Amino acid sequence: MQNLLKTRHITTVVSLIVLSFVGGVYVGNHNRPEIDKIMGLTNKETQVATKADFFPFWKVWNTINEKYPKSDEVTDQNRIYGAISGLIDSLDDPYSVFFDPEETKTFEEEIAGNFIGIGMEVGIKNKILTVIAPLKDTPAYRANIKSGDKILKIDKISTSDLSIEKAIKLIRGEKGTAVTLTVLREGNEDPMEIKIERDTINIPTLDTELRKDGIFAIKLYSFSANSANLFRNAIKQFVESRSDKLLLDLRGNPGGYLDSAISISSWFLPSGKTIVTEDYGDSKKPEVFRSKGYNIFNDNLKFVILIDNGSASASEIVAGAMQNHGRATLVGTQSFGKGSVQEVVDITPDTILKITVANWLTPNGTSISEKGLIPDYLVEITKKDSGEKKDPQLEKAVEILLK
């Protein structure tokens, strides 16, 4: 679940690949291998022209064949995958990435909800590989990995030049093996090494609790494919409890499916109200996602949402919509700020491209990517609080709800 997925945008696009192999004319350079055959492209799909000078590309290709001692050990197919990855790297966008067949399989396993790893979401923040959030009851969670931890090394490999996907590939591995992360935590002068054993990761979704003080609490861990249905059941429990005080805890929730964020937000907003806007820049008109209008609660609902720097993506969409429309009070710390939209594109039957296509804007037009969300009540959790197992953010939320 590395980033916010738009399941409604799954198409077959091959022109991006073709652009890597044409040289100012239609594909057909006599020096090129049978790339269309390798990639399974049709004649129509290879008819793409560009003014770019691809002579250097073919010069390098041929020089590898002529001079590199082990050129026969690198297949044409793997060279093409490498060229495509280089093309994507030129975008300088950590969230756009090409997946070869092995990486595609891993990605699909993660979306399915279980995989081998240590159980944490990572992102690039200020050009540094950063933990968005560890998932509950996973090896990373038990090893005390924290939101905001900066990962400097994975085993002995520096992360300074790694993409998110390459970093994830290094962190993943066989069940029972270990990975050592060199982590710099805010407030610490020196980095520390944390050794974590890999295991099967089952992504948690949701917990509910009717507290003794009458507050109904929902802890949402991720926006998975089934979180909308689970949230509906939680809302049913809330209504049956006859409480008018709702606490939604999105701390450490790294996001997930857009559709789930829209569905969950729709429980609290009238039909047609803006939840989030997809800003495509100058390429096309913005797309506005609106409430489906479940909206079963009146204005007497007391509603607080907890966020922190581990709240990202879909979490920011829900929290931002509730804050902008005055439906909920936000308590905690500034959210992560992961507000770009990735579209998953089928390239071949066993390869995909995850590419940034837009940025998310809250209903009032604020870009989530730039600063994240600022809570209405800024409440930090200090080292002393953690040591004493205190939760001042939760305490503040309870204070607001019981007024």
User: What secondary structure, in 3-state letters, does the chain show?
Assistant: CCCCECCCCCEECCHHHHCCCCCCCCCCCCCCCCHHHHHCCCCCCCCCCCCCCCHHHHHHHHHHHHHCCCHHHCCHHHHHHHHHHHHHHCCCCCCCEEECHHHHHHHHHHHHCEEEECCEEEEEECCEEEEEEECCCCHHHHCCCCCCCEEEEECCEECCCCCHHHHHHHHCCCCCCEEEEEEECCCCCCCEEEEEECEEEECCCEEEEECCCCCEEEEECCECCCHHHHHHHHHHHHHHHCCCEEEEECCCCCCEEHHHHHHHHCCCCCCCCEEEEEECCCCCCCEEEECCCCCCCCCCCEEEEEECCCCCCHHHHHHHHHHHCCCCEEEECCCCCCCEEEEEEEEECCEEEEEEEEEEECCCCCEHHHHCCCCCEECCCCHHHHHCCCCHHHHHHHHHHCC
Measured between alpha carbons, how far is residue 361 from residues 43, 288, 337, 373 in Å?
40, 9, 11, 11
Residue 351's identity, in one-letter code, is T
Q: What is the mean pLDDT of residues 176-184?
A: 97
Region of residue 260 (phi > 0: left; psi between -120 and 50: alpha; otherwise: beta): alpha
Across the range 285-307, mean pLDDT stands at: 95
Tokens 């089934």 found at: 226
Q: Does 155 have pLDDT greater than 50? A: yes
> Could you give the percent of the chain with pLDDT greater than 90?
67
Q: Is 331 within 8 Å of 393 (Cβ atoms)? A: yes
| Residue 182: strand pairing partners | 153, 193
- pLDDT of 116: 87
> Which CA distances in Å does 156 have to 94, 151, 184, 186, 232?
21, 12, 15, 22, 45
Rounded to an integer, the average pLDDT of 286-291 is 97
At 204-249, the pLDDT tens digits run 789 999 999 999 999 999 998 889 999 999 999 999 999 999 999 9
Domains of the chain with bracketed CATH = 11-93 (no CATH), 114-202 (2.30.42.10), 206-340+357-401 (3.90.226.10)
The full length of the chain comes to 403
Give residue 370's pLDDT: 74
Residue 63 has pLDDT above 50, yes or no: yes
Q: In what order do the strands lie in the sheet with 206-210?
A: 206-210, 216-220, 245-249, 302-307, 329-332, 377-378
Place of tokens 């004493």: 388
Position 208, amino acid: T
Say how many CA atoms lie within 13 Å of 244 toward its Cβ: 8
The encoded tokens of residue 177 equal 């093996």
Average pLDDT for residues 311-333, to the nearest whole number?
Answer: 97
Give the pLDDT score at 91: 92
d(CA 133, CA 222): 10
Instruction: Determine the pLDDT at residue 45.
Output: 54
Q: Mean of the pLDDT values across residues 146-167?
A: 92
Q: How does the average pLDDT of the chain come out, rounded?
A: 86
Distance CA 132, CA 53 (A): 40
Residue 169 confidence class, pLDDT cut points 50, 70, 90: confident
d(CA 89, CA 99): 13
Helix 227-241 and helix 258-265: axis angle, to 10°?
20
For the record, the structure tokens of 401 come out as 């709800």
Q: Which residue has the tokens 């995958």?
A: 81
Distance CA 375, CA 251 (A): 12
Measured distance CA(121)–CA(134) in Å, rounded:
6
User: pLDDT band at residue 39, thresholds of 50, 70 and 90?
Assistant: low
Within its chain, how far is the Cα of 397 from the centroid? Answer: 27
Distance separating alpha carbons of residues 352 and 106, to the nearest angstrom: 12
Query: Bigger pLDDT: 177 or 39?
Result: 177
